[in-house]
């Protein structure tokens, strides 16, 4: 690359930043005042972007090395008052000369991120549920369900502190070869500051203190978090009760319709406020939370169709759910850890408690071919408190309102490919009948 070309490029980087017209004195003896690049070279030298050679010459027609070019880029990178167009050019040059800049001790990760402001992650996965419930005659009703899911998760940088994030899901039933339904599941703005974070929009809804025993979903509203090792989180907004696991009494009330197919009870979104405290201390971590939901649907749980009577559980005329929860965990070593949680809905007469304890061994790391993990757990999942748990055996196609044991394992056969199998065996809480589920999943991450 010729010095004359370099002069043209680096001039573009600093023209927008120069506070005055090119009036700096020319320090180079071989660049006469009538040269076409005289003003540019003089200003670049004044800004410290170029230095020339020790004998006062610039040698503008001489080839330069990539390291010399990297040095000029590094000096241009140090300028902060550049225009957006000049900044974009700096980012492109920094990406091109990243190896040389790294060797010079210049960090370019931020520039590379800015050069590509939107990052995309995602996965394609196949899931299978085989659900078995004991019926009144003592035999088991079997229901098999499978699902294909394609997920995209864009992350767009707004500035150094703010990002916009989203999740887009497409679902299809391969056994029926149905067309995919595409949903914008989440979209929120996130501001990250020292010991402070704020989220606004339709954002993740997760019961951190119980490791997802109660909630792993999304709600529309706001969330603020303060702290580092000890974090205080406050959030408020609206949560659609249709997202509750789909055999709960709340869900049945939410979708109950009259003979003309009109919703009986109106709005199926509950107002929501919650506060939680979570922290770590060495190998120990724990937390506690309180969540309040309010919706007319809670008053009508006992009014749903005759076939749903077994799902009664809310106190008469209450339109609230008041849930408190605690959880803790301990890491023994690099292979073993244990966690558990307990929650209670003070407004529920039945099925209003949930508790869980899980022992984990190792863990599958999708980037590490051959890694694997396993767990065993005991779960007691009252449907009027564990609204939308993270456990895939308790999702819409799985079991619900049950107690029992669960085991699972996950393996990485290829880099960024994971395979998992889970098994649950227990009893229904409403009638003590047997409940069993086999679950399998394959994920392709990108």
Give the strand pairing for 216-227 and 230-240: antiparallel
DSSP for residue 143? E
Has residue 251 got a pLDDT over 60? yes
Cβ neighbours for 49, distance < 8 A, ≥ 6 positions apart: 10, 13, 14, 72, 75, 76
d(CA 185, CA 151): 10
For the ranges 42-56, 129-143, 373-387, 414-428, which has the lowest average pLDDT?
42-56
d(CA 247, CA 395): 10
Domains and CATH numbers, the chain: 3-115 (no CATH), 120-445 (2.40.160.10)
Has residue 6 got a pLDDT over 60? no
**pLDDT tens-digit readout, 357-376:** 999 999 999 999 999 999 99
The number of C-alpha atoms within 13 Å of 369 and in the hemisphere containing its C-beta is 3
d(CA 322, CA 327): 17
The pLDDT score that the predictor gives to residue 113 is: 47
pTM as predicted: 0.71
The pLDDT score that the predictor gives to residue 20 is: 39
The pLDDT score that the predictor gives to residue 26 is: 61
For the ranges 13-17, 75-79, 286-290, 429-433, which has the lowest average pLDDT?
13-17
What's the angle, vertex CA 199, arms to CA 193 and CA 202, rounded to 5?
A: 160
Q: 111 or 446: which carries more pLDDT confidence?
A: 446
Q: 């809804």: which residue's tokens?
A: 205
**pLDDT tens-digit readout, 63-114:** 666 766 777 777 777 777 767 767 777 777 777 777 777 766 665 555 454 5
User: What's the mean pLDDT in 124-134?
Assistant: 92
The pLDDT score that the predictor gives to residue 356 is: 97
């Amino acid at each position: 690359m010729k010095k004359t070309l370099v002069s043209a490029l680096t001039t573009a980087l600093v023209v927008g930043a120069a506070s005055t017209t090119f009036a700096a004195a020319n320090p180079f003896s071989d660049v006469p005042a009538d040269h076409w690049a005289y003003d540019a070279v003089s200003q670049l030298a004044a800004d410290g972007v170029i230095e020339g050679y020790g004998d006062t010459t610039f040698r503008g027609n001489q080839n330069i090395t990539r390291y010399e070019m990297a040095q000029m880029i590094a000096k241009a990178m140090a300028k902060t008052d550049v225009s957006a167009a000049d900044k974009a050019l700096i980012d492109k040059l920094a990406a091109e000369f990243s190896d040389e800049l790294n060797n010079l001790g210049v960090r370019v990760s931020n520039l590379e991120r800015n050069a590509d402001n939107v990052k995309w992650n995602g996965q394609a996965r196949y899931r299978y549920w085989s659900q078995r419930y004991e019926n009144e005659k003592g035999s088991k009703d079997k229901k098999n369900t499978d699902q294909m899911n394609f997920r995209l998760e864009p992350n767009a940088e707004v500035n150094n502190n703010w990002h916009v994030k989203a999740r887009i899901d497409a679902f299809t039933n391969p056994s029926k070869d149905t067309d995919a339904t595409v949903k914008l599941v989440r979209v929120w703005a996130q501001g990250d500051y020292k010991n402070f974070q704020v989220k606004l929009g339709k954002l993740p809804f997760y019961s951190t203190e119980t490791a997802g025993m109660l909630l792993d979903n999304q709600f529309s509203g706001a969330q603020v978090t303060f702290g580092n090792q000890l974090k205080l989180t406050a959030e408020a907004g609206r949560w659609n009760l249709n997202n509750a696991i789909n055999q709960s009494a709340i869900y049945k009330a939410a979708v109950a319709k009259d003979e003309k197919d009109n919703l009986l009870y109106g709005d199926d979104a509950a107002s929501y406020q919650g506060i939680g405290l979570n922290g770590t201390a060495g190998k120990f971590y724990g937390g506690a939370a309180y969540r309040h939901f309010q919706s007319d649907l809670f008053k009508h749980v006992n009014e749903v169709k005759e076939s749903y009577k077994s799902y009664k559980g809310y106190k008469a005329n209450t339109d609230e759910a008041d849930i408190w929860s605690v959880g803790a965990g301990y890491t023994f070593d690099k292979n073993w850890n244990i966690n558990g949680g307990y929650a209670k809905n003070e407004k529920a007469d039945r099925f209003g408690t949930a508790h869980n304890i899980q022992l984990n061994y190792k863990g599958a790391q999708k980037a590490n071919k051959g890694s694997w993990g396993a767990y065993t757990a005991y779960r007691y999942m009252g449907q009027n408190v564990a609204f939308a748990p993270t456990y895939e055996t308790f999702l819409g196609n799985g079991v619900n309102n049950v107690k029992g044991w669960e085991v699972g394992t996950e393996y990485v056969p290829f880099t960024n490919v994971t395979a998992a199998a889970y098994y649950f065996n227990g009893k229904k809480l409403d009638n003590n009948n047997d409940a069993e589920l086999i679950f399998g999943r394959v994920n392709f991450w990108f």
